[in-house]
Amino acid sequence: MDENESLNRVEELIESGELEEAQKLLDAVREKSGRKYYLQGKLFMAKNWYAEAYKQYKRAVKEEPENEQYRAAFDDLENFRKSEEYKQQKKGQMGGAEVCALGFCECCGSGLCQAICDGCG
C-alpha cells in the first residue's frame, strides 16, 4: 500500500471510529505532508484532544496554505477554542487544564502553565 492509499485508509478508519488502528497506520506513514498533519488533527479531534488537534491543523495549513479543507478545519477549531463550550470542557478536564482552571496559575509567569494547558483563562 503506498502512502496515499494509507492516508485514504486512515481517513476511513477515523470516520468509522477505529482510532487506534488509524493512529498505527498514520504513524507508519513517513511522508510529512499537509494531509498527514490534517488527518492527525482530525484523529485528535475525534479524541477531543483540542490543543493537539490545533497544532496539527496549524501545521497542515502551513504546509498547504491554499488547501481550503485544512484552512476550514483550522478556522473552525480556532473559533471553537474561543467558545464558552470549549472553556467549560477545558475546566472539566483532568490534569494541567484543571490546575489552571482552579486558579493555580502562579506558574504562568514562568511559562509552565502555557506548556501544561495552553495558557490560563
Q: Class of the 3-82 domain? A: mainly alpha
pTM, to two decimals: 0.71
Q: Where are the domains of the chain?
A: 3-82, 94-121
CA 48 → CA 67, 81, 121, distances in Å? 23, 12, 19
- Helix residue ranges, H only, the chain: 3-15, 19-28, 34-46, 50-63, 68-81, 84-92, 96-101, 112-117
Q: What is the pLDDT along the chain (121 residues), one digit of tens a residue?
A: 789 999 999 999 999 999 999 999 999 999 899 999 999 999 999 999 999 999 999 999 999 999 999 999 999 999 888 877 766 766 665 454 444 444 444 444 445 454 445 544 4
